[in-house]
Chain A
Amino acid sequence: MTDAHSHQPYVAHHFTDAFQQREAAKLGVWIFLLTEILLFGGLFVAYSVFRAWNPDMFHNAHKFLDVRMGTLNTVVLITSSVTVALAIRAIQLGRKKQTIGLLVATLVLAGVFLVVKYFEYSHKFHLGQLPGKYYTFTGVEGSNPHVFFSIYFAMTGLHGIHVLAGMAVISWALINTMKGKYSSEYFTPIEMAGLYWHLVDMIWIFLFPLFYLVG
């Protein structure tokens, strides 16, 4: 193990060089993102099936989602994607302080997203717009309105869990940046965390029109 690349402590023993390691990490993360898309894919199929079966109900039920809050959250997430992209740029240029600032900004924006989501959820809990058999609201016309909220909570809930996971990954990248583990030569983990965060953002970009902008 004490061979040619011992001067690069971040290169694991089974890789020939830093380039091979970085390319492997990239490919791995892209494949992982593909699995995430397929995980959500099942829910998108369920959404399509039930919307095709209950078109009027979907239209009526979506009016009970707050478009302003949804728009706010969309802007928040897109901005957070910009900050994480800038963080990658900053570490590539070796600007550690700037990287830390941008990663913190990303975390704050992710937190704002969850807070807004919390207010939306609690409002629906209050009105009884809950999934499946817990649904007690009576204001939605059309067939099986509880299914709309089943799918709404399943999809946004799973997305919310992914936001939390993304925050965990970014926090880990942030801590390691503070420890000085990354530099303009080695920044793969931040880049990979950024890729994941973009995916979380992308899924929301699809959820927003499908739920808030029906019809």
Chain B
Amino acid sequence: MNNNETANSISFLSEPKGLKSWLFTLDHKRIGILYLGGIMFSFILGGVFAMLIRLELLRPGPDLVSADTYNQLFTLHGAVMIFLFIIPGVPAALGNFVLPLMLGAKDVAFPRLNLASWYIYVVGAAFALYSLHSGAVDTGWTFYTPYSVQTQTSVVSMTLAAFILGFSSIFTGLNFIVTIHKLRAPGQTWFKLPLFVWALYATAIIQVLATPVLGITLLLLILERLFGIGIFDPAMGGDPVLYQHFFWFYSHPAVYIMILPGMGIISELISVFSHKKIFGYKAIAFSSFGIALVSFLVWGHHMFVSGQSEIAAMIFSFLTFLVGIPSGIKVFNWLSTMYKGSISLETPMLYALSFLVLFTIGGLTGIFLGALSVDVHLHDTYFVVAHFHYVMMGGTVMAFLGGLHYWWPKMFGKLYSSLWSKISVALIFIGFNVTFFSQFILGTKGMPRRYYNYLDQFQPLHAFSTVGSWILGLGFLIMFVYLIHSLFRGRRSGPNPWGALTFEWTTPSPPPTYNFKETPRLTHGPYDFDKIAVEETK
């Protein structure tokens, strides 16, 4: 520890003290940690649902739960993972903590709004949990009409939960856009921003533009259910496909809300752990906006077999292929960054490498599904489930875990066990592929998604997948143990354990309440490893 600030600065974790100081905090770092708590709780909850689903599918026929309970389990797994974990995951937890630090700012632009967004998240989560208690919803996380209007389960409380959580997401996005515009350090011009910030910016734009449409859609669904307004009901001159249009106009961009910030983390990790300047900075920065733009124009690819017009389907299919371009730009730039870099295989980098492999598989299978003739066969099969999990779990969750392991020493000032974390990455990577690669094969063989029962011929692959979920579960269990252990017994971390160049590593770990003693001034780019010799301060 060569940084003399470390000794005499008081960490944001220790001052002020008391539960009240946490519940009423306006400090972005504390709010980020509050979010992290909520998100981890949701991740465990959604994960338990997933394990139960896989356990039920170990053998054909009823084993563990009834068919109705099974429908509720996969709905809750989807709704909890999407609305409570993966959408707020990277931006609200990690982004909240890191963004102002990366900008050399004292806080986000609107600290009160930031705290409000966390409380809104908690209220939304409470509605979601209430719906668990009051007849868990069984429509799938998409709440498609007409079934969502007819089912006896508690659709209203779950949709209300998603509606409320939407506001939390909007407020986070709004806060980040303004923060990035107005609170950058002196000298930090747009092209000197870390790429994670660019990714958060592109994410925030989607959050702000798409989420309100989900809001009105869910509001209309609630009105439909409570008052029978008839606009989604064919018997009353309404149209259930209109619901699908509305829903996917948000929910397709929403998958980019989930993946874009993850891609931002990967840009940081690849450059820092290759100790090499990022290749194609501007291409990576602008490709985030390319993805954000195209994301609004592809929602119809969820509806190729829902009865939209053929010409619409063709246009949506073509536009869907375009997503491959900015995504490809990113992947190739990351690979080029690693080329001839001096790569150190620390745990965050292992997650980044996992991301590269898994996201590429997920992205390419997305192209399969975007092709009309292929999609007609693969639609609503396990192939879609596998594709989605390769992008969301293989992509976003790997990036989230990479980011968590990267910034963990900064957040808590403690180093976790290098050995155990590497064992855990290996288990998660292997378990993930065992669980989900088998589902690609199941899908091409015709196994439909969301089915409670299946033909005997699918049993070996289903069993394989279920065993994978156990490996995955073990990997996560080990991760929780060593992370919590590190909080109490971990070695103290210096300000810059990885030798990175962005602002957050110039302040002590954990940072003091107002982040920096003096507003820092930017003297070099975020990835100038070619110009600056950084010292790792473990």
Contacts and interface: CB of A to CB of B under 8 A. Distances in A.
Interface of A: 12-16, 20, 23-24, 27-28, 31-32, 34-36, 38-43, 45-46, 49-50, 53-54, 131-134, 143-144, 146-147, 150-151, 153-154, 158
A38 B209 contact: yes
Interface in B199-258: 208-213, 215-217, 219-220, 223-224, 227-231, 233, 236-239, 242, 246
B106 A49 contact: no
Contact of B237 (A35, A43, A45, A143): A143
B230 A27 contact: no
Contact of B109 (A28, A38, A133): A28
B213 A50 contact: no
Nearest to A46: B231
Interface in B98-128: 105-111, 113
Contact of B216 (A32, A43, A143, A144): A43
A43 B219 CA distance: 10
Contact of A146 (B105, B236, B239): B236
Contact of A41 (B108, B109, B213, B519): B213
Given A46-B242, A153-B229, 16 more contacts: A12-B111, A14-B106, A14-B107, A15-B183, A20-B183, A24-B178, A24-B183, A28-B174, A28-B175, A35-B209, A43-B216, A53-B237, A131-B223, A146-B236, A147-B238, A158-B219
Contacts of B237: 50, 53-54, 143-144, 146-147
Contacts of A16: 519
A154 to B, nearest CB: 6
A144 B246 CA distance: 21
Contacts of B144: none
B17 interface: no
Contacts of A31: 174, 177-178, 208
A154 B181 contact: no
B109 A134 contact: no
Given A133-B227, A147-B231, A147-B236, A154 B220 contact: yes
A24 B182 contact: yes
B358 interface: no
Contact of A32 (B174, B183, B224, B519): B174
A153 B228 CA distance: 13
A133 B168 CA distance: 33
Given A24-B178, A43-B216, A154-B220, A133 B228 contact: yes
Contacts of B246: 42, 45
B227 A35 contact: no
23 contacts: A14-B109, A24-B110, A24-B182, A27-B181, A28-B113, A28-B178, A31-B177, A36-B212, A38-B212, A38-B213, A39-B213, A39-B216, A41-B213, A42-B212, A131-B228, A131-B229, A131-B230, A132-B231, A133-B228, A143-B237, A153-B229, A154-B229, A158-B219
Contact of B242 (A40, A49, A150): A49
Contact of A42 (B107, B217, B236): B217
A45 B229 CA distance: 16
A39 B215 contact: yes
B178 A42 contact: no
Minimum-distance CB pairs A-B, first 10: A144-B237, A42-B216, A133-B228, A132-B229, A150-B229, A14-B106, A38-B212, A39-B212, A14-B107, A132-B230
A16 to B, nearest CB: 8
A161 B231 CA distance: 21
Contacts of B230: 131-133, 144, 146-147, 150
Contacts of B130: none
Contacts of A132: 224, 227-231, 233, 236
B170 interface: yes
A146 B236 CA distance: 8
Contacts of B220: 42-43, 46, 154
By secondary structure, the A interface counts as: helix
B420 interface: no
Interface string B163-188: 00000001000110110011100000
Interface of B: 105-111, 113, 170, 174-175, 177-178, 181-183, 208-213, 215-217, 219-220, 223-224, 227-231, 233, 236-239, 242, 246, 514, 519
A25 to B, nearest CB: 8
Nearest to A39: B212
Q: Which of A42, A43, A146, A158 has the most CB of B within 10 A?
A: A42
Given A20-B182, A24-B109, A49-B239, A134 B231 contact: no
B504 to A, nearest CB: 16
Contacts of A53: 237
Given A38-B209, A144-B237, A154 B174 contact: no
A16 B211 CA distance: 32
A23 to B, nearest CB: 6
A43 B216 CA distance: 7
Nearest to A27: B178
A150 B228 CA distance: 9
A82 to B, nearest CB: 28
A28 B209 contact: no
A43 B231 CA distance: 11
A50 B229 CA distance: 13
Contacts of A20: 182-183
A39 B477 CA distance: 41
A27 B237 CA distance: 42
Contacts of A150: 223, 229-231
A72 to B, nearest CB: 27
A12 B182 CA distance: 14
A35 B211 CA distance: 8
Contacts of B217: 42
Contact of B228 (A38, A134, A158): A134
Nearest to B216: A42
B208 A34 contact: yes
Contacts of B113: 28
Nearest to A144: B237
B227 A131 contact: yes
Contact of A35 (B212, B238, B519): B212
A14 B177 CA distance: 16
A146 B230 CA distance: 8
A151 B183 CA distance: 42
